[in-house]
Every structure is written in structure tokens, then in C-alpha cells.
Amino acid sequence: MNRFFLAVGGVLLLAVCAGCRSTGEHPGAKAKGPQRPTATPAMVSITNSLDPALLQPGEAEFTLGPGDALEIEMWSNPLSRAVALVGPDGKIYYNLLPGLDVWGLTLAQTQARLEQELGKYVHSAHVSVTLRAVGSKYVWVLGRLNKPGLYPLTGPTTLLELMAEAGGPSHAVTQVSSENLADLRHSFIVRDGQFLPVDFFRLFHGGDPSQNIYVRPGDFIYVPSTLSQEVYVLGAVRIPAALPYTEGMTLVSAIAGGSGLERYSWIAAGGYDPGPFAKDAWPSHVAILRGSLVTPRMTVVDFNAIVHGRALDVPLEPGDIIYVPNSPFTTIKRYFNIILNTFVTTVAANEGIRAGGGQVTVGVSVPLGTR
């Protein structure tokens, strides 16, 4: 028995034993969708923790890039004041200069370069350089916020400061109460393609300073809606999708596209057809992730055992993430990290496309080399 099954302990064993009490339906028998016997398997709790370094502002100074706007003035000539935009080539064009490359320079370094180059043409070329607009360093802040959008970063900024600038989580105000429309338990930050385990609920409702990290250029922050009722099917499946949750929805009906089992010949005995799975899928290691993204619960079940009547189907809940791997995994923690990063990067990509006015389609890159 490999280490993966030892890591999840009795989770799979409980699922299989539960299947032993099923109706014993023949694999080729007609499936009955939601009427199929179900049982909620035992789930393993997983806790993420933030790297303390994320709470430090960092020592890097602001550096220029394409889109940044500078106000430049020579001290000896008040009429020399002008705004120079850093172009796509990383250069600014000011006064007599044919083009000065400032991409990656700090303001102090830019000032020194300007004085050096202008000194070739004018006497006493002392200049002042002021950053007037940022066009190169942004943070995406999308979802259920009062002012979602792209926000420039000119210096050290905490998550709370940025969220305040975005107007904070949105609410539906009624005569009785103010209902929170932002799902803080499923909000997330993606940095360099990786999920940062920030607990938005603790930050906003508990004022927990240990969750108030410093944001960086390129970060993607997303706050979903509490009104969203979806189940996500990702990984090695033919059509990754976010499915509307319906009462009585199960693992089998979700993977089968929410339409039950009647249409899928791959369940019947005789011949192999992968059905909704990708060619290299491992249906015997299907994971279900449930609850808060920071402290979720997870279980791994044998999908083949379920559809062949050797285990009970699993009832789903809104927000569940179903993941079909393309290889078996040896540790539950590593498997969890792959699932979570796949989920957040997929949502981030789709929400970014939506914000840009594009057509959203769920697309998932199945991780390779993750055994």
C-alpha cells in the first residue's frame, strides 16, 4: 500500500465500506440519478498558515516601467517643466534627449541619468523628477466590492489599505439589516500563480493583523458573491466547468455534467470509454474540497467503485471543488495544494477576462510531474 492511502487514513476505507452496504446494483443497470444511494464520507481537515515574511513591506524601491508618467523640470529653466511618459520601449523623451532608457530604474537613478545626459547639451542640468501616474504596477481587485478594478501601487500598501481604496466588501441594505454580499470565506489572493492563504473573514470581522499582508504588483484579489451557488469540476476531465448547484446533486451527476448516468455508456460493462474524463485521468483518486479555502476539508474517493456499485455516491454542497488528477498522489498536502492552485488560477483568469469584456470559458491546465 503506497503512502498516499496511508496519508488519508481511513477516508477511502470508509467510502468503500459504505459501498458494501449499497444495493448491489449491476454495473449495466440503468442509473437513477439523485435516487442513487449516497453517503457523506469522512473528510480530512487541512490548515494553511501564512509566511510571516508576507507581513513585511519589503525593501525594494519603486522602479519605472512602461505606462508610468514623470514630471520633469530643470531648476534653471521654469519653462522646461514637462510630463514624460515611459513608452513601451522603456524610454522617456524629454527636452533635447533622443530617448533615455529608464525601465527598471528608481526615481533617484532616473534623476541622475537625466542630469548626466542633459549635461552634454546644457549648463547646470539639475532636474527634479516627480512620479505623476503609475501605469506599470497594478493589483487586480475584483468581485463583490464597491469599487472593483485595477489599482496602481506607488509604495508599500497593505491588503486592508487596498481594500479600503476599493470601497470594501459590498452589502445589500434593507430596512431590517445590511446583508453581506461578499463571501469572505472563499475570497483569495493569487501571487505568481500561487494561492496565498489569507483569511479574509478573520481580517475583516476579527481585525486580525496577522492576515493583513502587504500586496505586491501583479497580485490578483478576488471576492466572490455569497449568492453564487456553484460546484466546480476541474482537472483531467474533458470539459472543466462551474455547474449550477441543484438540490440532490451528487459527485456522479456533477462529473457526468449534471444529467445523471443514463447517457454514459462508459458505466456499462464491456469495453472501455473514458466518458467525461481525459485520456490520462485517474478516476480512482477523485478529490472533493469543501469549506473555507484557508481551512478546508478534503476527501479522496474511488469514482470507479461508485459507478460500479461498490461504494455509495457522495452528496455535494454549494462551493464544492471536484478535482480529477492525471496521476496518483503520494501525500494529501501536496494534492491539496495542486487542487487549490488550479482552482484559484482558473477563477482569476476567467474573472480577468470578464473584467476586460471578453468571453469567459473555464479552462484548466492539468499539472504534470506532481507525483
Can you give 98-125 as a three-state secondary structure string?
A: CCEECCCCCHHHHHHHHHHHHCCCCCCC
CATH architecture of residue range(s) 52-58+138-223: Roll (3.10)
- Residue 6: pLDDT above 80? no
What average pLDDT does this structure show over 351-368?
Answer: 61
Edge-to-edge strands, sheet with 127-133: 77-85, 69-74, 127-133
Across 277-316, the runs of DSSP E, i.e. the strands, are 286-290, 297-301
Give the model confidence (pLDDT) of 177-206 as tens digits: 445 688 999 999 999 989 999 999 999 988
Query: What's the pTM?
Result: 0.76
- Residue 170: pLDDT above 60? yes
User: Right CATH number for 3-50+227-355 from 3.30.70.580, 3.90.550.10, 3.40.50.300, 3.10.560.10?
Assistant: 3.10.560.10
Q: Which CA distances in Å does 185 have to 23, 189, 274, 362?
A: 38, 12, 35, 22
CATH class of 69-133: alpha beta
CA distance 8 to 13: 9
- Residue 158: pLDDT above 90? yes
Confidence of residue 45 (pLDDT cuts 50, 70, 90): confident
Write the CB contacts of 177 (distance below 8 Å, at least 6 apart in sequence). none
State residue 350's pLDDT score.
85
Q: Which CA distances in Å does 169 have to 162, 267, 315, 358?
A: 12, 45, 31, 24
52-58+138-223: same fold as 3-50+227-355?
A: yes
Q: Nearest 5°: phi and psi at 343?
A: -65, -50
Q: Where are the domains of the chain?
A: 3-50+227-355, 52-58+138-223, 69-133
Nearest to 76 by CA among 129, 126, 130: 126
State residue 369's pLDDT score.
35
Calculate the average pLDDT of the chain. 80
- Considering just the CA atoms, what is the radius of gyration of the chain in Å? 27
Which string of b and e fits 274-305 if b means at least 16 CB within 10 Å?
ebbbbeebbbebbbbbbbbbbebebbbbbbeb
CA distance 342 to 116: 49
> What is the 8-class DSSP label of residue 45?
E
What average pLDDT does this structure show over 349-371?
Answer: 60
Confidence of residue 263 (pLDDT cuts 50, 70, 90): very low
